[in-house]
Amino acid sequence: MDFFLEVLTGGLLAGLMYSLVAIGFVLIYKASGVFNFAQGSMVLFAALTFVSLLERGVPFWVSFAITLLAMIVLAWAIERIVLRPLVNRPPITLFMATLGLSYIIEGLAQALWGAQVHGLDLGISDEPLEVGGMLLSQFDLFAAATAGALVLVLSLLFNKTRIGISLRAVADDQLAALAVGIKLQRIWMVVWAVAGFVGLVAGLLWGARLGVQFSLSLVVLKALPVLIIGGFTSIGGAIAGGLIIGASEKLAEVYLGPMIGGGIENWFPYVLALLFLLVRPAGIFGERAIERV
Amino acid sequence: MMLKGRTIMKRKTVLILALTAALVSITTQAAQEQHFSIAGYRIGPYAAGGSGQASGLEDYLQLINLRDGGVNGVKLSWTECETEYIVERGVECYERTKKNATTFNPFSVGIAYGVIDRATADKIPVITPNHGRTDSTDGRVFPYIFPVILNPWSEASAIINYLAQRAGGPDKLKGKKIVTLYHGSPYGKETIPIFALLAKQYGFENIQIEVPHPGNEQQSQWLNIRRIKPDWVILRGWGVMNPVALKTAQKTGFPTDRIIGNVWSNSEEDAEPAGQAAKGYISATTHPSGSHFPVLQDIKRHVYGANKGKIEPQRVGSIYYNMGVLDGILHVEAVRVAQKKFGQRALTGDELRWGWEHIAIDDKRLDELGASGLLQPIKLTCDDHEGGGAVKFQQWDGKQWKVISDWIQADRKLLRPLIEASAEKYAKEKNIKPRDCSKE
């Protein structure tokens, strides 16, 4: 039983790391209906920029601020060069645009900072803590707290600020939002910049765990089933989806894996996501599309 | 009018002659160059390995050009493609560059598998140091494939021999639990049957655990390992899987100095990103890191001094880089050996294959090459395309690798019948008649 609980807890904590990436997708999807395939590349770009500055002797918080600025500039450039000319195009066109963008950002990040592997030490110990006979990772607990704080900050942003209300208005109905004078381009720029900030936080935590390297852009593959289960429009859903995916993939690998040859952790979440799609296509917390026919 | 026409004709003839002469000159120049094809990857998830190896190889070839004026006057040249470690791109690279190439360097098991039939038909040696298809060691069946220095099965055997030495003798392995944590790819799975054989031979418990590609999440595997409580974990990783393994081992409380990395889990790029979690980590290597070897000093002086180096100078001497230098040393040695038989000119792929099969580098020759302690003595033959089969072990002290053992040899006598059986099975499937090496 202790072992089961340990696997379960480890899975839940790992799932929150997936949620960190998934939140970036949700933000952009909520505000623009665009599934941003480039979120993983943004995570890589942010982490690579940050660690490269750090290695050049720039202090931690200055590196953080410069990287954040770089993410805002990137958001501005994406809005101007990619999104604005594609307004009113079908969603698949925008999706394909972000797919292309993903490769461009990956290439740009490596061209600017090189393809070397960098270590990143955030000063958080990864020595295990023993709690009730279970070993818990201090780093994972920190990441979980960060995810919680991020959800809180984003909730405040969405619910208590003027910009947040505009974001929600755009998410609800773009035409109506335009009609009441909300500037769609500005909102998109803001939301991409916030997604860039989330990418930076995710990049630092994942970078500290994996090393800052190209593979960071592959963490999106872990976020996709999280989004399908939690719903594309809910930040809370991204957290719930992350917890479900994290726990189930670890339990499946440990208990089901040995029966079917092991190595199932990568595809099992997609099996679960497909099952969810059959039962609840919009995910647990996603908004159901209601259309007049 | 007639005169004007003749003048034009003359001019045309002169122009054609000049162009022909230029073309002949270019062709002759190309014929005087020994050309190699390199399928590198300087971007993408495995860029650290690809850039290090390709740069070490190319810098060594450049050293021979700059310091010695080529091999007996024959300049060395190469084409490097960017494959991003993608098999289709590697095969495309092979097809694009094979016209002038006299060896092909895939730096990837997948790409190596993809070009075996093509390269055999084209008579171009495929060089796969420390990787590739194990049974291609049998040169009777695979005349153009060279898994030189160390094939995967030898690596597994040498690691078990090291663990036996640590335990106090092979008989002390009985009852020990040894987990192999392997990358979920053909490369990772290559040694599964050999560990089963060695477990039977020595009586240890053999547990194989797969990590799905790319390996950026290993919590469940390490929790399982903690439950199993093994004596040793052999890490057969690649790329991001390695630092994640070390970090996850730390957070699940498994001691780092009981983890033995294989030769693709042994670089600075594997240990550094894991930070303190890597301290004490042991790995196998066919060559130590460091730039104090005379050959490396020459590269620094002649190649980087002339601003012709292919990589950031601080990476010269890293594990991946030195791997490329060894590859370069063997390439040049094959050319030298083949030139003795075929003449001091640019050789064909088939002639160079003969050169590879007659490489014999002893301690004296290593000293002449400035590579004593960097490369093990190596002798290749028609039926043995591996030649070395030994590794040293090194331990990460938090900043760099320190060699902690002498050369540990694989049990090649045990492995050879299995290699031959596998190669013969392949020969049967492909309708290949194995060569008679006594006639080579």
Model pLDDT for residues B47-79, shown as the tens digit of each residue: 889 999 999 999 999 999 999 999 999 999 999
Q: What is the pLDDT of residue B2?
A: 46
Our CA angle for B63, B64, B67, nearest 5°, is: 70
How does pLDDT run across A197-209, given as a tens digit for each residue?
999 999 999 999 8
- With a pLDDT cut of 90, the percent of chain B lying above it is 84
Token pair recorded at residue A133: 């006979």
How does pLDDT run across A121-144, given as a tens digit for each residue?
898 877 888 887 788 888 889 999
Q: How would you write B172-212 as a 3-class SS string?
A: HHCCCEEEEEEECCHHHHCCHHHHHHHHHHHCCEEEEEEEC
- Give the 3-state secondary structure percentages of chain B, helix then strand then coil, rounded to 5: 50, 15, 35
Q: Residue A115: which of B51, B212, B223 has the nearest Cβ? A: B51
Tell me if B51 and A6 make a contact (CB, 8 A cut-off): no
Residue pair B243/A210 in contact (Cβ under 8 Å)? The answer is yes
Chain A residues closer than 8 Å to B210 by CB = 261-263
Describe the crossing of helices A60-77 and A184-210 by its angle, rounded to 10 degrees: 140
Query: Within its chain, how far is the Cα of A248 from the centroid?
Result: 19
Q: Looking at CA atoms only, how far is residue A99 from chain B in angstroms?
A: 16
Token pair recorded at residue B213: 């590609």
B277 reaches A (C-beta below 8 A): yes
pLDDT, chain B, mean:
92
How does pLDDT run across B186-240, given as a tens digit for each residue?
889 989 999 999 999 999 999 999 999 888 889 889 999 999 999 999 999 998 9
CA distances from B104 to A175, B32, B129, B304 (A): 59, 18, 12, 25
Domains of chain B, CATH where assigned: 34-151+289-389+409-439 (3.40.50.2300), 153-285 (3.40.50.2300)
**Global ipTM:** 0.84
Q: Looking at CA atoms only, how far is residue A244 from chain B in angstroms?
A: 15
Chain B residues closer than 8 Å to A103 by CB = none
Distance from C-alpha of A266 to C-alpha of A221, rounded to nearest angstrom: 9
List chain A domain ranges.
2-216
For every one of its 440 residues, what pLDDT tens digit does chain B have, with 9 covering 90 and above?
444 555 555 555 555 555 555 544 444 444 589 999 999 999 888 888 999 999 999 999 999 999 999 999 999 999 999 999 999 999 999 999 999 999 999 999 889 999 999 999 999 999 999 998 999 999 999 999 999 999 999 999 999 999 999 999 999 999 999 999 999 988 899 899 999 999 999 999 999 999 998 888 898 899 999 999 999 999 999 989 999 999 999 988 899 999 999 999 999 999 999 999 999 999 999 999 999 999 999 999 999 999 999 999 999 999 999 999 999 999 999 999 999 999 999 999 999 999 999 999 999 999 999 999 999 999 999 999 999 899 999 999 999 999 999 999 999 999 999 999 999 999 999 999 999 998 77
Chain A residues closer than 8 Å to B209 by CB = 262
